[in-house]
Structure 1
Amino acid sequence: MNYCQKIHYNIFQTSQTDFNSAVDELLACIPQNEVVLRLVFFGMPLSNSQYLERRLLIREKIRHRYQQMEPALTYVAQPPLGATLIMEVHSYVPEADDSIVFRHYEGTPYVLLENKEMRCLYAGGFQEDILMFGIRQQASGVFRCLGELLRKEGFPVNSIIRQWNYIERITDFDGSDQRYQMFNNARSEFYGPADWSNGYPAATGIGADLGGLVVDVDAVVFKQKDCFATPIDNKLQIAAHAYSEKVLEKAGTQKTTPKFERAKRLTSGNNNMIYISGTAAIRGEETLIGVGLERQLHITMENIAELIGDAKIKMLRVYLKDRSFYEEAKQLLDAYNLNIPISYMCTDVCREELLIEIEGIAMK
């Protein structure tokens, strides 16, 4: 088997109201015969102080459970819908030629996977300790740490193939500066020196109620000619990194574009895995305004279908602007008969008029 056949994605959820018990219940669900590369928890603390307490509790339980095999770990402050706590698991079934190493950088766990095809880095939970700092300042610290880790392990910045960006109150303004735009300016600065002729990463920039800025990445360096990454455009949309200024907010004197591709295909021999970026009801570069949740959801799924072709969706995350949309969104997606793990969270999307955003993984 090759990489695309050996990596798995699962979602588990609980309705336990006691946080300690909820974490224990979810951890008990993790497959025992697979190596865990990444865990992402979605929950809703009441304050940033409680967020930090719960993040520490999760970290301690993970360290106790995995000892020297601690996976990348992220806690995202987004209210789960249909559950009190959601856990996403990225895991791998290794074979004899796979080497998996677990390390820490400034206290942040990450995982290195290497075989004859590629070298992979799974890292997450990059976050400043002081959450009251402005997003621009937090982003500078987060990208400094990420850049140092990439250099330490021999991964160029342009080896990032997938990036997740969780931004507290993403559409809010600090004075005249929008938070998402401040993040985009910092990302553009971090990416600036690298050669992106093979496309930017797939990415999601999504809101969070608390937690400041949190960044996760998957990075890959390929070792064989039949293993490579390819950016995927959507002919129905303008690439986000090519947006005009009219759809961008302003932060300081800058309006840099969001540097990501609509999707990124990882090819390994005859197999393909597609990272589907955060996708919404945008045609060209304009949002479909005033059409309601059902229409926005169907347009979003049409955009995803355009990206993946005949690949099969394996997992979806659904971000809803209002928790009252949950039942309708679930009913609409159930009608697609996907029979895959799907998580639903309530959070702000990067444009005020967007009611839903969906990301995921597809395989061929």
Structure 2
Amino acid sequence: MYFLNGDRIYIKPQNSCAGFDNQLLDCLFQLKNFNASKKIFKLNFFVDTASEEDYQNLSAKLEKQVGEKFPSPVVVCLIAQPPLTCRVLVEAFYYDSTLWQAGLIHDKNGTAILFKREKTEVLIGNVQSNRINTCRKNAEIAFSALEGLLQQAALPVDSVIRQWNYIENILGMDNGRQCYQEFNNVRSAFYSGYFDKTGYPAATGIGINRGGVLIEFVAVNSRDAVSIPLDNPEQVAAHDYSKKVLVADKPEEKSTPKFERARYFELFKKKMVFISGTASIRGEKTVGTGDPVEQTRITINNIQQLYSPEQLLKISGNLLQPQYGHARVYIKNRKDFAAVKRTFKKYYGNLPVVYIIADICRDDLLVEIEGKVILE
């Protein structure tokens, strides 16, 4: 994490044609060497699995192997999304252990690292429920676990500034109700009364092939932090969507997605923007239907609005220089990969980016992009 005086890197197998086990061992070997100079605290493994049993077995295997290879605690997260250029992709987060103290905390359904420095506390981890058949129940259990971790760390709910919400069968139906809408209903109930003054977290809501409901989060409690929600003037804020774009039979079951388009965040002179999962939406309507190139172009334009010179000047009063730090690009259909990649490179050149296959929160959306912007 940038504001922990560290960052994140993506580890790919050196031989993308090798079998899965060899690719995984190669990634773990690279990570062990990397950890000799950097203090890794969280690993996300992007892998597809053939069944729920395979998912559970691989999750246990990763926990065991990481525990054997790393001397200090590491939070492990298995995200059932297939990467497009290899069979396993690892996202590694590291921090400066000379500046931050770190300790592991557990909940029955979650794990996190609590960082402390002076009077600042940062909690980073993930919670998950995938043992129940319904999305709503999984979401309730996951948010309950999030609450438990926050309580252990003595952090309020509104200290959460960034979330990644992974939802199995996101567009599918759960007892006649859309899974994503059910997740939004649970999230709204959990957030109720907490974010009225601060604005909601930046967030991504995206599909996974297995895993129930999985939530990654970053929470910060500090008098020295500055955290400001950002809007795109060409998009309706997601939490202000009208009922007509939400999927449910009854108005009372149509809670809006509670997240901000982005958040400006500053801590210990580190300045950045968390870019939420962003898609080809203008106002509250999908545009570029059926055209992955156009959707990618509009998505990037939407992202650039969030760190425009006018936006940054309004936030800080200074002319900050933005540098897009990294991106995840989620693509609904494998056949669109080449066109999406070509369009992304046209705007961002050789920026560190990973491409992942994932279902997106509307039937007509083909691409979603998230990332961070470093400000200097």
Q: Which residue of the partner structure matches residue 283 of structure 1? A: 282
For residue 52 of structure 1, report the CA deviation from its aligned partner.
0.8
**Displacement of 1:337:** 4.0
Offset at residue 342 of structure 1 (A): 0.9
Check whether the contact 1:264–1:276 (CA below 8 A) recurs between aligned residues: yes
TM normalised by structure 2 equals 0.90
Say yes or no: does 1:78 pair with 2:76: no
User: Retained in 1: the 8 A contact 2:246–2:256?
Assistant: yes
Distance 1:117 1:263 in 2: 25
Q: How has the CA–CA distance of structure 1 residues 317 and 193 changed in structure 2, closer, same or farther, with 3 Å as cutoff? A: same
Say which of 225, 228, 231 aligns to 1:230: 228
Residue 286 of structure 1, CA deviation: 0.7
Alpha-carbon offset, residue 35 of structure 1? 1.6
Does structure 2 conserve the Cα–Cα contact (< 8 Å) formed by 1:240 and 1:260? yes
Paired residues of 1:116 and 1:223 also in contact (CA < 8 A)? no
| Partner of residue 49, structure 2 | 45
Q: Which residue of 1 aligns with 2:12?
A: 13
Conserved? CA contact 2:41–2:113, under 8 Å: yes
Task: Tell me how large the CA RMSD over aligned residues is.
Answer: 1.9
Name 1:150's counterpart in structure 2: 150
- More displaced, 165-174 or 282-291? 282-291
CA contact (8 A) 1:122 1:219 kept: yes
Post-superposition offset of 1:16: 5.5
Q: Structure 1 residues 28, 183: CA separation in 2 closer, same or farther (over 3 Å shift)?
A: same
Mean Cα displacement is larger for which, 6-15 or 248-257? 248-257
Aligned residue identity for 1:302: N
- Rounded to whole Å, the distance in 1 between the matches of 2:222 and 2:6 is 16
Amino acid across the alignment from 1:28: F
> How many residue pairs were aligned?
357
Which blocks of at least 5 consecutive residues in structure 2 are unaligned? 309-320
Return the TM-score normalized by structure 1.
0.93
CA contact (8 A) 2:110 2:145 kept: no
* Pairing of 1:56-95 with structure 2 (within 5 A): 56-67=60-71, 69-95=72-98
Alignment partner, residue 245 of structure 1: 243
In structure 1, list runs of 5 or more residues that go unmatched: none
Mapped contact 1:23–1:58 kept (Cα < 8 A)? no
Residues 53 and 336 of structure 1: is their aligned pair in 2 closer, same or farther, counting only changes over 3 Å?
same
* Counterparts of 1:42 and 1:145, CA distance in 2: 22
| Residue identity matched to 1:361 | K
- Which residue of the partner structure matches residue 215 of structure 1? 215
Q: Quick one: percent identity of the two aligned structures? A: 33
Are the equivalent residues in 1 in contact too, given 2:170–2:359 (CA < 8 A)? yes
Alignment partner of 1:308: what SS?
coil
Q: Pairwise mapping of residues 305-324 of structure 1 onto structure 2 (< 5 A)?
A: 305-309=304-308, 310-324=321-335
Shift of 1:134: 0.2
- Tell me the residue number matched to 2:312: none
Match of residue 299 from structure 1? 298
The superposition leaves residues 258-310 of structure 1 with CA deviations (integer Å, 9 ceiling, x where unpaired) of 00000111112543121110000001111104351111101111111111234
Residue in 1 aligned with 2:373?
362
Deviations 1:308-333 (A, max 9, x none): 23421111001001011111211222
| Bigger shift: residues 106-115 or 158-167 | 106-115
2:27 is aligned with 1:23: no
Greater relative CO, 1 or 2 (CA 8 Å, sep 6+)? 1
